[in-house]
Every structure is written in structure tokens, then in C-alpha cells.
């Protein structure tokens, strides 16, 4: 069965809207794990718009499954990650003005720096993943970095409106996963996935884990976090 990583960033988004102490993303992580999540994902952004340094420090001490830290390939964040030592780091592109991550890394253009960062994290025992578009050239470049995982950006699939577009994007992801397998890369995926579109993503071969956040936290508003996680886990069976 495909594993579920739950991104709890938007629990912190609600907290930061009032600069209060609740809702607590650490509490959310505990509830999420008890509901059956296989990993907890958080994105420590440079502008600290939601997850804060203290959150990551406490999560590292309390999470019982896997802590996946999304982060930019930026010196100050790399230093924090090296100190905290999450189980996995997922390197993602980051723009200060964006609402959410808009696409995958350009590994080809940034091959040297990403290779150096991947090598550094692996040297201290941290699994690495690169968040990329399902593009053969980017997969080829990702393989050159010797990263453990790639995570496919599923935004184009999630935003497709017609059946023709959906099929085209799904086929692109399937082909990309097969290419990644030939390079010896392990495959995760995420972005824009919800309770309606996630089933067809499960048809992607070699897929190990989906990282889903916004739709789970949104559903939790109405049914509670435990139920929201359980419902998503059931869809992945």
C-alpha cells in the first residue's frame, strides 16, 4: 500500500494568523500519527510564514513515524536541518511571493549545488528527496545527484479540468516513474491532491508515498483531523 505523509503546515498557518499558541502543529502531528499517517511533513520556509524553528525542534523529539522536512537549498536552512536531523529532507524551490510551491526544482540548472547538498545530508545520515516535475531531463539530472528519492510535483494533474488533460498528465507521471525506476530512484509524489483525484494517482507504478496537506487539513475543519486522515488512508488502500 502507498504510504501517506501528512503535511501539517496549514495548522501552523491558522495559528500564525493570530500569532497565538493554537492550534499547535505538534499536537496535530500526534493526532495524525495516531490516525495512521506514515510520515509527518513540514516546510520550514525562509519567511517562516507558518512552521517555526521551535515547531521543528519539538517535532523532531516527538514524532514516532518519519519527519520529512521540506526546505529550500539555502545555507541557513541547511544549517538548521543539519542540527535538527529530520529523517528526510525534501529540497523544494521557494519564492517569497508565492502562495504555495508552484513547480519543481530545476535540477539541471542547479546540478552542482544540489549535488553538494544531497551529498552533505547523506553524509550525516539523512535521506534526501528532490521535488521535481515529471520531466525526463530533470529525472536524469536528479539521478546524477545520487539522491535517494524524487517527489513528483502533481500540480498539473490536480489542476486539469478535462478528461483529456487528466489522462495526459497521468500518463506523463506514469512514464516519469518508469524512467526514475530505471535510474534507481525511489518515487514519491504530491501537491494539489485531494479526496477526489487521489485514487488515479495510485495507478502510478513504483510509487511509495504521497504527501498531502491542504485537503486533509481542510476536511479536518468539518470532520476532525483523525477522521480526515483515516479517510485519506482508506483511499490509498
CATH fold of 3-235, please? Answer: TIM Barrel (3.20.20)
- Helix segments in the chain, DSSP class H: 9-18, 25-34, 53-62, 75-84, 111-123, 136-145, 155-159, 163-182, 198-201, 214-223, 225-235
The residues annotated with a catalytic role in the active site are: 43, 70, 191
- Is 0.75 surpassed by the pTM of this model? yes
Provide the pLDDT for residue 106. Answer: 95
Strand partners, 131: 151
| Alpha carbons 42 and 111: distance in angstroms, whole number | 24
Task: Answer positive or negative: Cα dihedral of 169, 10, 148, 89.
Answer: positive
Grid coordinates in use for 216? 486533509
- pLDDT tens for the chain, 237 residues long, are 899 999 999 999 999 999 999 999 999 999 999 999 999 999 999 999 999 999 999 999 999 999 999 999 999 999 999 999 999 999 999 765 555 556 899 999 999 999 999 999 999 999 999 999 999 999 999 999 999 999 999 999 999 999 999 999 999 999 999 999 999 999 999 999 999 999 999 999 999 999 999 999 999 999 999 999 999 999 998
**What residues contact residue 59 under an 8 Å CB cut-off, 6+ apart?**
25, 26, 29, 40, 42, 67
Number of Cβ within 10 Å of residue 22's Cβ equals: 10
Amino acid at each position: 500500500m502507498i504510504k501517506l505523509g501528512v503535511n501539517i503546515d496549514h495548522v501552523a498557518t491558522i495559528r500564525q494568523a493570530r500569532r497565538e499558541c493554537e492550534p499547535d502543529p505538534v499536537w496535530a502531528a500526534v493526532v495524525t500519527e495516531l490516525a495512521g499517517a506514515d510520515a509527518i511533513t513540514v516546510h520550514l520556509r525562509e519567511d517562516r510564514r507558518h512552521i517555526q524553528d521551535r515547531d521543528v525542534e519539538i517535532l523532531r523529539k516527538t514524532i514516532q513515524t518519519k519527519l520529512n522536512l521540506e526546505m529550500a537549498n539555502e545555507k541557513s536552512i541547511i544549517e538548521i536541518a543539519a542540527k535538527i536531523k529530520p529523517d528526510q529532507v525534501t529540497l523544494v524551490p521557494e519564492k517569497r511571493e508565492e502562495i504555495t510551491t508552484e513547480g519543481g526544482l530545476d535540477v539541471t540548472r542547479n546540478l552542482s549545488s544540489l549535488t553538494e547538498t544531497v551529498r552533505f545530508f547523506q553524509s550525516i545520515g539523512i535521506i534526501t528527496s528532490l521535488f521535481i516535475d515529471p520531466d525526463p531531463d530533470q529525472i536524469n539530472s536528479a539521478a546524477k545527484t545520487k539522491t535517494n528519492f524524487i517527489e513528483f510535483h502533481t500540480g498539473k494533474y490536480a489542476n486539469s479540468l478535462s478528461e483529456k488533460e487528466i489522462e495526459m498528465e497521468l500518463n506523463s507521471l506514469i512514464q516519469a516513474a518508469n524512467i526514475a525506476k530505471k535510474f534507481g530512484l525511489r518515487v514519491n509524489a504530491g501537491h494539489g491532491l485531494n479526496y477526489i483525484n487521489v485514487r488515479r494517482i495510485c495507478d502510478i507504478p513504483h510509487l511509495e508515498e504521497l504527501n498531502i496537506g491542504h485537503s486533509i487539513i481542510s476536511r479536518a475543519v468539518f470532520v476532525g483531523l483523525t477522521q480526515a486522515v483515516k479517510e485519506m488512508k482508506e483511499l490509498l488502500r
